[in-house]
Structure 1
Amino acid sequence: MSILIKTLFFLVQLLPVRLLGACGAGLGRFIYIMNRRHRNIALRNLDRVYPEKDDAWKIRIAHESFAELGRTMFEMPHVFMRSKAYLLSRIELEDEALYKSAVEQGHGVIMTAMHHSNWELGALCFSMLGYECDIIYRPLRQAPADQFIKLSRTRFGAHLQSRFEGLRWLPRALKNGHTICVMVDQHLSNGTPVPFLGHMANTTTLPATFANKYNTPLLGVSLDRIGTSFRFKLRFWKIELPASSDGKKQDDVASMQTICESFAANVHERPELWLWIHRRWLYLDEQEQA
């Protein structure tokens, strides 16, 4: 089955990526109309974050968010099959010196990211640029699809770490100077409530815990699509965790709030690029329904 998936992706990537992206965007817009459940999730999330915006604006952003998701999914054959040289030619780097400086300290790097624009391409960037990195991921239930995804995400040297297999590997990876990549915009049923885009959401505290414990450099990263093309800008920024009033380190919750707040400007700049169909604020939804 994995051979069939690989063959299909190989054949599809022979088509122009711009054509695939346009087809994916069109399908995404169609699904917005047909898929009432996820349309309502997106509009509810937009209502929560942007109460000051009118309904027409929220509908437009939700509609374009579906288009962006479709565009991203249809670009995956190119992301997973095309050469390193081709993919890097589609990416502009901004402030990579911040990342290099953090790596050169020799204590590893905690890299935080979100589901924004083409996140699969974003996840490949670190290994394509020659950095040792470990990416925490959620395995797929279908074994052949999971095998193909793992092979695709690790083809330039990245290491995948299942979120279900614990974190005993993580201190060793930091000691070896690896970059640990963590998504911070997903709901976790066993997560800790932390404000995200101004509203409480169950969130992993892993980046804060290890950054505080090991004094590991902490960065944020965003892959921003340029227009609607298959061209992107990869941006890095340093996240400083301020000390508390008594001069000690922040606790993990306060640190995670600082981390999450650092992503707000990216979302607000182009909200249509973020994954609004995800139930990010399920923590609040459940409280409101109780």
Structure 2
Amino acid sequence: MAKQKEKRSLGFTIAYPLLWLIARLPLALLYGISNFLFIIVAGFGYRRKVINKNLRNSFPDKSELEIRKIRIGFYRHFCDLFAETIALMHIDIDKIQKRVEVCNPEVMQELLKEGNDVIAVLGHYCNWEWTPVVSRQYQAEGLSVYRPLKNKQFDKLMIKMRGRFGSRNIPLNSTAREIVKLKQQNRRFVLGLISDQSPSKFELNYWTNFLNQNTAVILGPEKMAKLTRSKVVYWQLEKIKRGRYRMTYIPYPGDVASSPEFDITEWHVRLLENQIKKAPQYWLWSHKRWKYSYLYKSQDL
């Protein structure tokens, strides 16, 4: 364990100065680096087995040529995502705000004006790292829930980078405590939750068909919304072109408090699924989303 910590610390010590220097470059030059990284990533086939397995299981009707096209498109977007994330170390936040167009800002404005807190739901789609910039437009505290990285130094760096938007990053296990504090202080909040992470093996409580596969889904957004009596809004992010995104707010159409169990969850799962089917190259195919099978849960029971 101690040796692993030493390796992580050494890795950060070596990588940080290089990342710091690269991040000083204009975004146009960062995209040039992205082009170079794409050649390496695609050439060496970064996590190719995982990506191909995920794609084939999700789109069984697509040919191998179509699967390859999506994988190559993912690699290209993935390298852009790296460049855009690194840029957060130094880039003027106002420049990013100009690159994320919000189609219907009045949706969030009205909900907050009416005295509601908001649970913002989104997936690992397009560039989720830039989405907190929109919270600067609203009179509410922006919160982003995250799972801490194993490397403590990189974890602190990511928190610092994300915090430049003015939103606050809180660890997953501290979410409830932070929300209780805000409620006690009667402060409005917008809580951003990533909805497509794989649950832990102790939280395999709800399964649904997602991308042609029996999938365990986290219930955090629905549970938090009902617990805090908040409105739920799906943040639909689309990639218009390189470095340009469009955000559309889609509010949950029903009453959160009286909604049937799992209805909110199914609602935002379908919205994300539709986005992925429309432009699959922009989803994070390299992570092991389907770590557990339904058989695993059945055996646990």
Classify the TM-score, shorter chain. 0.7 to 0.9
Is 1:110 the counterpart of 2:124 in the alignment?
A: no
Aligned with 2:233 (options 194, 205, 219): 219
Q: How does 1:178-217 map to 2 (within 5 A)?
A: 178-189=189-200, 190-191=202-203, 192-195=205-208, 196-217=210-231
Aligned CA distance change for structure 1 residues 53 and 173 (closer, same or farther; 3 Å): farther
Aligned CA distance change for structure 1 residues 31 and 255 (closer, same or farther; 3 Å): same
Hey, what's the Cα distance between the residues in 2 that align with 1:4 and 1:125?
33
Partner amino acid, structure 2, of 1:125: V
Contact persistence 1:242–1:250 (CA under 8 A): no
Aligned CA distance change for structure 1 residues 265 and 165 (closer, same or farther; 3 Å): same
Aligned with 1:236 (options 249, 257, 262): 249
Q: CA deviation at 1:215?
A: 3.2
Is 1:46 the counterpart of 2:60 in the alignment?
A: no
User: What number of residue pairs does the alignment pair up?
Assistant: 283
Q: Partner residue of 1:176?
A: 187
Give TM-score scaled by structure 2 length.
0.82
Aligned CA distance change for structure 1 residues 164 and 285 (closer, same or farther; 3 Å): same
Q: CA deviation at 1:103?
A: 1.6
Q: Over residues 88-136 of structure 1, what are the superposed CA-to-partner deviations in whole Å (9 max), with x where a residue is unaligned?
A: 1222111111111122222310000111122211233324666421111
Choose 155-164 or 188-197, whichever is displaced more.
Answer: 188-197
Q: CA deviation at 1:31?
A: 2.2
Hey, what's the Cα distance between the residues in 2 that align with 1:54 and 1:286?
28
Partner amino acid, structure 1, of 2:143: D
Aligned CA distance change for structure 1 residues 285 and 278 (closer, same or farther; 3 Å): farther
Q: How does 1:133-148 map to 2 (within 5 A)?
A: 133-148=142-157
* Identity level (%): 18
Q: CA deviation at 1:66?
A: 1.8
Q: Partner residue of 2:165?
A: 156
Hey, what's the Cα distance between the residues in 2 that align with 1:286 and 1:58?
27
Aligned CA distance change for structure 1 residues 128 and 15 (closer, same or farther; 3 Å): farther
Give TM-score scaled by structure 1 length.
0.85
Choose 279-288 or 231-240, whichever is displaced more.
Answer: 279-288
Secondary structure in 2 aligned to 1:165? helix
Q: How does 1:28-43 map to 2 (within 5 A)?
A: 28-35=38-45, 38-43=47-52
Q: CA deviation at 1:166?
A: 5.4
Secondary structure in 2 aligned to 1:180? strand
Q: CA deviation at 1:80?
A: 3.1
Q: CA deviation at 1:208?
A: 0.7
Q: Partner residue of 1:284?
A: 293
Contact persistence 2:96–2:133 (CA under 8 A): no
Hey, what's the Cα distance between the residues in 1 that align with 2:109 and 2:166?
18
Is 1:274 the counterpart of 2:283 in the alignment?
A: yes
Choose 259-268 or 126-135, whichever is displaced more.
Answer: 126-135
Hey, what's the Cα distance between the residues in 2 that align with 1:81 and 1:286?
47
Hey, what's the Cα distance between the residues in 1 that align with 2:109 and 2:292?
37
Q: What are structure 1's unaligned runs of at least 5 residues?
A: none
Aligned with 1:123 (options 126, 132, 152): 132
Secondary structure in 1 aligned to 2:121? strand
Partner amino acid, structure 1, of 2:31: G
Contact persistence 2:222–2:265 (CA under 8 A): yes
Hey, what's the Cα distance between the residues in 1 that align with 2:218 and 2:251?
19
Hey, what's the Cα distance between the residues in 1 that align with 2:255 and 2:114?
20
Hey, what's the Cα distance between the residues in 2 that align with 1:24 and 1:110?
33
Q: Over residues 180-202 of structure 1, what are the superposed CA-to-partner deviations in whole Å (9 max), with x where a residue is unaligned?
A: 11000111223333323353322
Aligned CA distance change for structure 1 residues 286 and 142 (closer, same or farther; 3 Å): farther
Choose 93-102 or 3-12, whichever is displaced more.
Answer: 3-12
